[in-house]
Chain A
Amino acid sequence: GESVGLHLPTLSVQEGDNSIINCAYSNSASDYFIWYKQESGKGPQFIIDIRSNMDKRQGQRVTVLLNKTVKHLSLQIAATQPGDSAVYFCAETVDTGRRALTFGSGTRLQVQP
């Protein structure tokens, strides 16, 4: 079946370093992708999104890259801070008619001081 998955379940980085979180998706029909941050005990929080007609999108300290050829999505966080420690999910639309998302299993980012 269609799925969205992540390569690394846990990523540990030093404060100030750049972080890269990867995600693979299998549905070539997906046309919209979102990265969410989820802190312990809270709901997912929107970080950045990208449509399939784009390769790159930048936000504040974050960049999302989309490689449709290999069905790969990545989230880059510049100058990682302790407050960035959380679980990060990528999500995709598999049915734009209902606007629902398929989520990956998540990557935990641990920022070491």
Chain B
Amino acid sequence: NAGVTQTPKFRILKIGQSMTLQCTQDMNHNYMYWYRQDPGMGLKLIYYSVGAGITDKGEVPNGYNVSRSTTEDFPLRLELAAPSQTSVYFCASSSLGWTGTTVSSGNTIYFGEGSWLTVV
């Protein structure tokens, strides 16, 4: 059961460099998300997607871009890395169905293991 897979696990970037964090899920979920987590803090939403070809900004989108060409993949792009982007990045996915009256753990958000990014 792969679930949500992120790569790379660790990366060090120099200021101004660009890179892409890869994310793929094998649960056929329509919804995918990118969060960042700064030390000792909760997760903040960067971008999300409600389906292939559709993306939208979250709370902290500046400095990032995303694309969703397939249901499975949701890469996150950093174009000009800055020290403020040093963080742990989590990709996540979820299925539809939160409008029902039955609470089910199958309707929740599943997270990847995280990608540790340091910008120096």
Contact = CB atoms under 8 A, between A and B. Distances in A.
Interface of A: 4, 31-32, 34, 41-46, 48-51, 53-54, 57, 89, 91, 93, 96, 98-106
Interface string B61-104: 00000000000000000000000000000100010101101010
Interface of B: 4, 31, 33, 35, 40-45, 48, 50, 56, 58, 90, 94, 96, 98-99, 101, 103, 105, 107-114
Contacts of B90: 43-44
Contacts of A31: 98
A96 B103 contact: no
Contacts of B44: 103
A96 B98 contact: yes
A97 to B, nearest CB: 8
B55 to A, nearest CB: 11
6 contacts: A43-B90, A91-B43, A93-B98, A99-B96, A103-B42, A106-B42
